[in-house]
């Protein structure tokens, strides 16, 4: 079985034929596709002939060294992770390998389980890089005004439902957590309907007190109350021919619910203080982040109005269930907001992209947009990096998590070895920034240097 169930195409470079055969046999048994080369010249030919996911190279070889070849690949193929094998496990060797752009280094004699964990993480890194590249290209291909951005299966299902019901001139109840894009879905229903050339109007039922909300929805005649100095149509009449979204419908006062029900059934509205009813041809959409059925059970919402509004229910998935859509949306927000800030920010660094995918997003798409906007406001880089994001994004579990590569299945590492590998892993993620590494690890720089020296 492959580490993390990710099979990959591995190129092994070593002048030791026996070791190449051993590694080829082991990697093939774990589900990988393997090519071997005894020198860098042969390796270059293989890389020109076929796609490779990871290069595993010896440090000391005749002609071009593993570190020199790693630096060459970093210049020409920066997307290709390189793992270096060496019989000289000194700190200087490790630093030279990392500075040359190596993803990781392992010492000989090789522990096959630990080596496969390192390769598994490198494969994850490679796949995430490729995913980021494809998603960035996809964002560029899509129309800039396409707000319903998302390719995850759960969001594709939402899009298909919108297509099926857009032309059905009936009420739709849109539910989902705050920030999932309920108003965007309502606009999409309107834009894909036969009413698309008529008004789309949205009102938040929680934003106004009861007396103002009644006037806003149904209109009023002059003198209906103290400040009613002229007649007002109300949103039902203003939206006639089009669509009216009643957002946060669960907050509609009980006293107004019978009047709304009457409008929905008769398609007529009586303005506040008026004696005549006015025809209104409007499609009503309603939305809420609350459980409307529970509000009915609690007596806060009329059951007859609930059934009238809930002819069709459209439930939006939370962002955490939409997978790669998180990055698609992030790229779109970067593209839009970088223009506002007059900054040339092209995307996300790989560790930052991984953190966005790992975060829970309780505020959903709205929170993601706010996080991207904040990061763009403060960044000094051409890509958003980990340090541009708030603490809860960088450390969603309250601290730096233990890398999976530190523990091999069925193999317990000594504490000193685990600490050594963890320090090197943190340094790798931070591009050998020891000051920052010391701060994240909770030690001073002298202690960190001592631990590195001892390792």
Decide if pLDDT at 314 tops 70: yes
Split at pLDDT 50, 70, 90, the class of 333 is: very high
Tens digits of residue pLDDT in 421-438: 777 777 776 667 776 677
**Residue 203 and residue 235 in contact, taking contact as beta carbons nearer than 8 Å:** yes
42 and 160 assigned to the same domain: no
Residue 1, pLDDT score: 34
Residue 442, pLDDT score: 66
Split at pLDDT 50, 70, 90, the class of 401 is: very low
Percent share of the chain, pLDDT over 90: 40
39 and 96 assigned to the same domain: yes
Say which range, 7-11, 13-17, 273-277, 286-290, has the weakest mean pLDDT.
273-277
Q: How many CB atoms lie within 10 A of CB 142?
A: 14
Residue 402, pLDDT score: 41
CA atoms lying within 13 Å on the CB side of residue 227: 3
Is residue 142 situated within a structural domain? Answer: no
Please state, in angstroms and as integers, the Cα–Cα distance from residue 59 to each residue in 34, 55, 102, following that order: 19, 12, 11
Overall number of domains in the chain:
4
Residue 354: CATH number of its domain: 1.10.8.60
161 and 215 assigned to the same domain: yes
Split at pLDDT 50, 70, 90, the class of 310 is: very high
* Domain containing residue 236: 153-316
State the average pLDDT over residues 199-226. 84
Decide if pLDDT at 187 tops 50: yes
127 and 170 assigned to the same domain: no
Stretch (H or E) spanning 285: strand 283-288
Which has more confidence, 220 or 122? 122
Is residue 144 situated within a structural domain? Answer: no
166 and 221 assigned to the same domain: yes
Please state, in angstroms and as integers, the Cα–Cα distance from residue 433 to each residue in 237, 338, 416, 438, 439, following that order: 63, 27, 22, 9, 10
DSSP state, 204?
E
Tens digits of residue pLDDT in 7-65: 889 999 998 899 999 999 999 998 899 999 999 999 999 998 888 999 999 888 878 88
Residue 253: CATH number of its domain: 3.40.50.300
DSSP state, 142?
S
Is residue 112 situated within a structural domain? Answer: yes
Residue 432: CATH number of its domain: 1.10.10.60
Long-range CB pairs of 343-346 (<8 Å, 24+ gap) are 343/376, 343/379, 344/382, 345/376, 345/379, 345/381, 345/382, 345/383, 345/384, 346/382, 346/383
Residues 6+ apart with CB under 8 A from 247: 182, 183, 202, 203, 204, 205, 206, 286, 287, 288
109: cis peptide before it, omega within 30°?
yes
Boundary residue ending a domain (276, 299, 316): 316
Decide if pLDDT at 406 tops 80: no
Decide if pLDDT at 6 tops 60: yes
- Give the relative orientation of helices 434-441 and 415-429 as an angle to the nearest 10 degrees: 130
Percent share of the chain, pLDDT over 70: 85
Residue 137, pLDDT score: 57
Nearest to 277 by CA among 286, 266, 285, 288: 266
64 and 124 assigned to the same domain: yes
* φ, ψ for residue 415, nearest 5 deg: -60, -40
Nearest to 114 by CA among 85, 90, 91, 87: 85
Residue 82: CATH number of its domain: 3.40.50.2300
Is residue 427 situated within a structural domain? Answer: yes
Decide if pLDDT at 133 tops 80: no
């Amino acid at each position: 079985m492959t580490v993390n169930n990710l099979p990959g195409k591995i190129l092994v470079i070593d002048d030791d034929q026996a070791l190449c055969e051993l590694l080829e046999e082991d990697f093939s048994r774990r589900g990988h596709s393997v090519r071997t080369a005894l020198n860098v010249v042969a390796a270059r030919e293989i890389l020109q002939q076929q796609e490779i996911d990871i290069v595993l190279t010896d440090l000391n070889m005749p002609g071009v060294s593993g570190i020199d070849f790693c630096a060459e690949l970093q210049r020409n193929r920066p997307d290709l992770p390189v793992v270096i094998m060496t019989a000289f496990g000194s700190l200087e060797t490790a630093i030279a390998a990392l500075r040359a752009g190596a993803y990781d280094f392992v010492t000989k004699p090789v522990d096959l389980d630990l080596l496969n964990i390192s390769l598994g993480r490198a494969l994850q890194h490679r796949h995430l890089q490729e995913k980021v590249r494809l998603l960035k290209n996809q964002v560029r291909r899509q129309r800039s005004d396409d707000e319903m951005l998302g390719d995850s299966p759960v969001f594709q299902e939402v899009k298909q439902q919108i297509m099926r019901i857009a032309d059905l001139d009936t009420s739709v109840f849109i539910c989902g957590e705050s920030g999932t894009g309920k108003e965007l879905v309502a606009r999409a229903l309107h834009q894909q309907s036969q009413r698309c050339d008529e008004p789309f109007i949205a009102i938040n039922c929680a934003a106004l007190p009861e007396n103002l909300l009644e006037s806003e929805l149904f209109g009023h005649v002059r003198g209906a109350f103290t400040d009613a100095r002229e007649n007002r149509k109300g949103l039902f009449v203003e939206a006639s021919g089009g669509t009216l979204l009643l957002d946060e419908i669960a907050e509609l006062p009980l006293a107004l619910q019978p009047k709304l029900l009457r409008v929905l059934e008769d398609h007529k509205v009586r303005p506040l203080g008026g004696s005549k009813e006015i025809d209104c041809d409007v499609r009503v959409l309603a939305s809420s982040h609350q459980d409307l059925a529970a509000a009915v059970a609690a007596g806060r919402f009329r059951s007859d109005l609930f059934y009238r509004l809930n002819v069709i229910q459209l439930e939006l998935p939370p962002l955490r269930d939409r997978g790669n859509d998180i990055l698609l949306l992030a790229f779109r927000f970067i593209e839009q907001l970088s223009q506002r800030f007059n900054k040339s920010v092209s995307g996300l660094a790989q560790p930052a992209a991984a953190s966005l995918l790992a975060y829970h997003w309780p505020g959903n798409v709205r929170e993601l947009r706010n996080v991207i906007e904040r990061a763009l406001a403060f960044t000094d880089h051409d890509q958003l990096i980990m340090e541009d994001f708030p603490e809860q994004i960088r450390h969603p579990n309250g601290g730096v998590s233990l890398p999976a590569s530190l523990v091999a299945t069925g193999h317990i590492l000594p504490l000193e070895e685990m600490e050594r590998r963890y320090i090197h892993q943190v340094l790798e993620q931070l591009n050998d920034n020891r000051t920052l590494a010391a701060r994240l690890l909770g030690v001073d720089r002298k202690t960190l240097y001592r631990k590195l020296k001892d390792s």
